[in-house]
Structure 1
Amino acid sequence: MTDSDDLLDSYAEDGFVFPAYGDRCFADVTESALSLLSDEFNRELPDDAFGDLLNGEVDNVVLLVLDGLGLDQWNRLNRQVPFFESFEEFGELSPLTSVYPSETAAAITTLHTGLLPAEHGLLGWHQYFRDIEASIQTLPFLLEDGTRVHDAHPLANARELFAGEAIYGAAESAGIDTHVAQPERIANSASSQLTTAGADTNGYWNVADMAVTVRDTLADAEGPTHVTAYVPNVDHIAHITGTEQDRYDAQARMVTEAVRTGLVEELDAETAERTALLVTADHGHTNVDQSEQVDLSVPEVQDTLQTGEDGEPIPPVGGPRNVQFHVEDGRVEELRSYLEANHDVLTLDREEYTERGLFGENEVEPSEMFERRAPDLVAVHKETVMWYHGDEKIGVHGGMTPAEMLVPFAAARISDLQE
C-alpha cells in the first residue's frame, strides 16, 4: 500500500499538492467501484487499495462519501471512532488526492459522471454564466444573493452546469442496479437530477435513515447492485467550527456510528459476505483565520478583469481557496505580479495549469464547456482565503494543501467489519 508520504513525494511541490489523476485520485473511485461488479468498467485505482475484496465474489458495492472528511482527520480520530478502527483492523486504508479544485461542486460532479473537471467543466462552487451575465452558486443553482436562478432568469438552463452524463446509465446497461442516497433537501435539486440520472435516487431525512435505506436496498437486491451514499454532515460542521473542535469530533462519531449500527451490524450475514463497503471523501479542510482574508475588491485586481456586456468586471469565481480570474488580454502578468508580491500564493496561467494537468491529465480532451470557462489565471493561497466578499467559515477547502487534498479510501467486505 502507498502511504501519504509516498503520495506527497510524487505530487507535492513547495507545500502545494497536485491531483494524482490516473494513479490514486478521488476521480477514479466510481469507475473502480463499478469494476468490482462488471468488466465493462476499468479499475483505475491500484489493486492494493481493495485489499481482500479482489480475492472473492462481490455482488454489491456501497460507496460511502463523507463530504469533507480529510485523511488528516481520519488518522487523528481512527482510535476514537470504532468505524474507522474496524477498517484499520479488517480492511484496507489508502490515501488518495482530491481533484482540483478540492471543492464539492467539482468533485461530486466527477463522482457521479466519472469525468475529470477538464471534461465536465464545472470548476467550483461559484461560476460565471455568460448567458445571464451573472455569477451563480452552482450546485444549489442560485444567484449569489440566494435567489433561485430560474426565478430571475426563467430561460436559464441547468443543463449548462456541466458537460457529459451521469455514469449510472452506463452501469445500468452493464447489468448493474444503481442507487444514490442523499439528503432529501438536495435529492431533487436541478444539479442532483442531472448528476444522478439513471440511478434510483433515495432522499433521506438523517444519516440513520440513510443507513437503514441502504441496508434495505442491499437486502432486496436481485443482481449486481451499486449504492452511492453521500453524507454532507462532516463538511457542514467543519465550515462552522474547523476540524479541531469537540463538535467536529462528535459529528464524525455520530455519522459513522449511524452507519456502523444501522448498516454494518444489521446487514444479514449472507448479504454482508457479498458486499463491499468503500469509504472516501471528496476533499479535506484547512483551518483559517478570517481576519487575514485577502481582499480582491482592490483596483489592482478589479482593473485587470474582463468586463461583461454591462461593463462591470467579471468577478473572480471558483471559491475562496480556488480563485479563478478572467483577465483582459495582455494583463495576466500584471495581475499575477500584484498577487505574488503581496500574498503567499501559487499562481498558474492557462499554459502552466494545462501543462501540469491541474484540471485533468494532459491526454484528456477538454470539453467545450471547460474551454468556455477556463480561467486565464488561477491563484491558490497557502494559508488563508482569497475572496471579494465576506465569508466567515473556519474550515475551508478548494485549495492545494495536504489537509485539503489528501483523502481516505477505505475498503472492506462488510462481513469482515462485523467481526
Structure 2
Amino acid sequence: MRRDRIARSLRDGAERPGSLAPAYGGYCVVGVPGTCLSVLDAAPAGIPTLPPDTYRDADHGRTTTVLVVLIDGLGYDGWCRVVDDDQRRTDLLERFERRGTVTPLTAPFPSETAAALPSLHSGRYPVEHGSLGWWRHLTGVGRVQSLPYLTAAGEPVRTVAPETPPASETLYDVESLYERMPAGVRTVLFRPAAFDDPDPGGYDAGADAYVGYQSVPELAAAVRRELENEGTQYLFAYLPQIDALSHEAGPRAEATASQLEDIVASLDRALCRVDAERARETLVAVTADHGHIETDGHVDLTGNDVVRRALAEAADGTRIPPLGSPRQLQFHLRDGRVETVRRVLERTVDCLTFSRAEYVTEDLFGPGDPTPAFERSAPDLLCVPRSESVWFGGDTPEEVGMHGGLSPAEMLVPFAVANLRTLQ
C-alpha cells in the first residue's frame, strides 16, 4: 500500500505554503534506524522511532535480519513518478506497494546527506550531532566539504593541513548506533569502495564489517551473501548514484530514471535468490535521505558589499563566508548585523529567513537542547530560498537538481518496508 494521503496531510498541514518542516518525532526519516532495530530488539535507548503504522503490513514476527537500502536523492515524488510510469521496469518497487507499506517521511533539516547520514547512523538529530550542511569553515583551512572531508579545492583536509583534527572532532560529535547496540547483533555497512575510508570515531564507526563495492550488481551480490548468514543482523546499504545523476541531469531526466531502473533490477535479482527460509526471517526497507528540486534561478550575492562587510571574522582574521549550500545558506555575522543582512536577503531572494533564536525555537534542526557540536556550527542567520538557489563567492552552482531546502520535493522521501519472502 502506498500512502499518498500522508504526503497530502503533511503538505496541507505545513505552516508555510510551499515549505515543509521536518516531522520530527513522527513521520521523519531519522526514526528509520530506531524502528528497524526495534524489530530486532536491538534499538539503543532514547533514539526516535516511526509510528507503528509505517510497517503494519510487514510480517516481522520471525525477523532475525533487517536490510536497509538508502538510495541517496530518491524523493517520494521520484518514487511515485517512476512506479506510475507504465514504460518503466520497477517490479520490486511495485511489489513493495502491493505487499508491504510505502509511507512518505520527511527528511531532517537541512535536506542534505551531510545532515541525514549522521542521523541515520547515530539516531540523533542535527541539533545533537552538529552536522548542518555540505560547506563548513575551519580556521586556518577555510571552506571545507563535510562529506567527504575535503578542502574547497577538493584535496583531503588532513593532507593539506595535517595538524587539523579529524572530521569527528571538528564538524560533528556523535556516538554511532553500532557502538551502542547489544552484543549478538552483526552490523554490516555497504558503500562504494571509493568511500571506504572510515574516519575512526566517526558517525558510522563500530560496525562489524564495511563492504566496499565497485558497481550496483556487485553490491547486490554482496548483500545476498550476507542475507544468507544465520543469526541476528542489521545491514545498511548506501547507494549514491541517483543523487549524483539528479544533480547532473535533473531528478526528472531520462538518465536518472534509467539508473533507478537498473538499481532496482539488480537488487530484485539478488533478493529473489535468497533462500526461502532466510527470506521469511528478513525485513527489507528502502528509503532515502532527501529528494531534489530543479531550481528556477540563481542569485549571486558575491558583489553585495553590505553582506560582505557584515561577515564575521574567524580566529585567523579571515572572514567566514556563507556556508551550508545554495538551498540553505548560513551566515556567520558580526554583532548587530543580523537584521541588516536579513533585509538584503528578503529584498533580493524569494526566501525564508531565520535568526538563531527563531530556528532554535522552531526546532528546525531537531528537538532537544543544542549541543556544543551544534553551537560550533550554528549560523547567526539562515536563508532558505523557496525555488531559487543563492550563493556567495566561489563558482556559480551548475547543478540541475539541488537540495537542502524546505520544498516538499526536497523534504519528502519514501519508506518502503516488506518481508523479503513476500517480495520474492
Normalising by structure 2, report the TM-score.
0.93
Name 1:176's counterpart in structure 2: 185
Name 2:145's counterpart in structure 1: 137
> Structure 1's 296 and 359: CA in aligned 2 closer, same or farther, altered over 3 A?
farther
Cα displacement (A) at 1:124: 0.6
Please state if 1:233 is matched with 2:236: no
Identity percentage over the alignment?
37
* Cα separation, 2, equivalents of 1:153 and 1:280: 36
Name 1:125's counterpart in structure 2: 134
* Cα separation, 2, equivalents of 1:84 and 1:36: 22
CA contact (8 A) 2:196 2:212 kept: yes
* Cα separation, 2, equivalents of 1:310 and 1:169: 36
Residue segments in structure 2 that go unaligned for 5+ positions in a row: none
Cα displacement (A) at 1:190: 3.1
* Cα separation, 1, equivalents of 2:52 and 2:59: 8
Name 2:385's counterpart in structure 1: 381
**Alignment-mate amino acid for residue 67 of structure 1:** D
Residue segments in structure 1 that go unaligned for 5+ positions in a row: none
Name 2:99's counterpart in structure 1: 90
CA contact (8 A) 2:198 2:205 kept: no
2:154 aligns with one of 146, 151, 167: 146
CA contact (8 A) 2:59 2:418 kept: no
Cα displacement (A) at 1:198: 1.3
Cα displacement (A) at 1:373: 1.1
* Cα separation, 2, equivalents of 1:111 and 1:121: 14
CA contact (8 A) 2:60 2:419 kept: no
CA contact (8 A) 2:54 2:103 kept: yes
Name 1:327's counterpart in structure 2: 333
Cα displacement (A) at 1:52: 2.8
* Count of residue pairs brought into register by the alignment: 410
**Mean Cα displacement is larger for which, 42-51 or 233-242?**
42-51
String of CA shifts for 1:16-67, please: whole Å, max 9, x gaps. Answer: 1111110010111111110110164467101110133355221110000000
* Cα separation, 2, equivalents of 1:202 and 1:169: 18
Q: How does 1:16-415 map to 2 (within 5 A)?
A: 16-38=19-41, 40-41=43-44, 44-53=49-58, 56-79=61-84, 80=88, 81-130=90-139, 132-158=140-166, 159-160=168-169, 161-171=171-181, 173-190=182-199, 194-199=202-207, 200-220=209-229, 222-262=230-270, 264-289=271-296, 292-361=298-367, 364-388=368-392, 389=394, 390-415=396-421
**Mean Cα displacement is larger for which, 310-319 or 344-353?**
310-319
String of CA shifts for 1:270-300, please: whole Å, max 9, x gaps. Answer: 111110000100000000245x333344212
Normalized per residue, the structure richer in helix is 1
* Cα separation, 2, equivalents of 1:40 and 1:240: 37
* Cα separation, 2, equivalents of 1:100 and 1:11: 15
Which segments of structure 1 move beyond 6 Å, counting only runs of 4 or more? Answer: none
Alignment partner of 1:239: what SS?
Answer: helix
* Cα separation, 2, equivalents of 1:44 and 1:369: 23
**Alignment-mate amino acid for residue 190 of structure 1:** D
> Structure 1's 358 and 296: CA in aligned 2 closer, same or farther, altered over 3 A?
farther
Cα displacement (A) at 1:174: 4.5
* Cα separation, 2, equivalents of 1:39 and 1:107: 21
**Alignment-mate amino acid for residue 78 of structure 1:** V
Normalising by structure 1, report the TM-score.
0.94
Alignment partner of 1:180: what SS?
Answer: strand
Alignment partner of 1:13: what SS?
Answer: coil
